[in-house]
Structure 1
């Protein structure tokens, strides 16, 4: 990640959670630790490559913790850090807004 200076808090937040998938990954991990395949099954349409990339970026930001269990077969679990949970809580009102206006948004997107 390259260092940058932000113009406001929203600029910083969008940089951390930007893109289509990160908020959905945060939402999926809100229910507790998940293995990679569980996260992928929970997010319709995400490719394996994209999920790997997004999880790595989120781990670099300190949003996600990756736990590797030394066993056969190897086991890896992803979970939210306190920082990730705080971002998820900040996104909840946005999700509520989306729920309230989903029909309108879908109608506009079809046009």
Structure 2
């Protein structure tokens, strides 16, 4: 069966999804949610450097895309938990592989950058 979408076509909506998934915050959020539901403030503490605003915006986008679900509990103050949806769970291996590839290969990337920067350009 032919797929109705082509990521190489300029107007294909898959590009919006790729843009979202290529975002470092989205990758980190999705990878963190792989272990199970997490409260908003716990996510904010776990993902160093993310602002409350960016975390909120990214979670809303991931929820809109059907990758993350939001559950609010009637406590004082209200407790909000985020979890991967079944669709989001289909990304866990890919997201984890990407995030942890960066950890494993950072020394090689930094060495390549230093070599590139030191090479004469003509």
TM-score (norm 2): 0.73
In the alignment, structure 1 residue 36 sits paired with structure 2 residue 40: yes
2:75 corresponds to which residue?
71
Output the CA distance in 1 between the equivalents of 2:85 and 2:55.
Answer: 18
Residue in 1 that maps onto 2:6: 7
The runs of at least 4 consecutive aligned structure 1 residues that moved more than 2 Å come to 5-13, 90-100, 106-111
Deviation at 1:82, TM superposition (A): 1.1
Aligned partner of 1:19 in structure 2 is 23
Q: In terms of Rg, which structure is larger?
A: 2
**C-alpha distance in structure 2 between counterparts of 1:96 and 1:46, whole Å:** 18
Aligned to 1:94: 98
Structure 2 unaligned regions, length at least 5: 9-13, 118-122
2:64 paired with 1:60: yes
Q: TM-score, normalised by structure 1?
A: 0.80
Count of residues paired in the alignment = 107
Partner residue in 1 for 2:120: none
